[in-house]
Amino acid sequence: MKTFRFASALVALSLLPAAVLAETPKPPAPPAPVEMKALDSMLGDWTCSGTMPASEVFGPEQKTSTRVKVTREVGGNALLFRIGFKTLGQQPMSANILGLWYYDALAREYVAPSVDDMGASFVQKSKGFEGDVLTFAGSGTMMGKKVDPATDRFTRHADGSLSHLYEGTLDGKKIVFVDEVCKKSGKK
């Protein structure tokens, strides 16, 4: 009988930490940086059309079509961009891209890493909107080659649309990858 009580006491003691841990409330997450609110105009579904100008790398000028879905993620600490891009010209090309924008409070700047299904990856940074213009600059790789600098410039317009200019230097040549106008196509 003493053995049974001792064993029962050991089992009860071994379960105590689990019970205590299970009842310990998780501390609330800190609020998202207020700087993320400045990007609220980017939220939602977007449809973009534009051009990929002629270049030695991509050939003749082509029309482009882009669909973008921007959502607030990880407790409001980041915006997630799901992008589907395609050209509509003689040399059809498409890419699916994931991008993340977040605010680095220590560096006091926005950071925007991105990657696509063709192996390209970039990291760009921005101090934020200057008036209606938001410029991210950085570098990355595309087609196994360095792109430096790489710049994404977004300009807000009074009608709610955005102009997007994406350009960079690849193999020592400045290239405009896409010049497009984006319009909201859905709700936030």
**In order of start, what are the domains of the chain with their CATH numbers?**
34-184 (2.40.128.20)
| Mean pLDDT value of segment 38-45 | 96
Which string of DSSP letters, residue by residue, matches 122-185?
Answer: EEEEE---BTTEEEEEEEEEETTEEEEEEEEEEEE-TTS-EEEEEEEEETTEEEEEEEEEEEE-
More confident of the two residues 58 and 97: 97
Q: Quick check: 68 pLDDT over 70?
A: yes
- pTM of the entire predicted model: 0.82
Whole-number pLDDT of residue 21: 56
147, 140 in Cβ contact below 8 A?
Answer: yes
Provide the residue type at 19 as one letter: A
Whole-number pLDDT of residue 188: 42
For the chain, what percent of residues have pLDDT higher than 70?
A: 86
Q: Quick check: 186 pLDDT over 80?
A: no
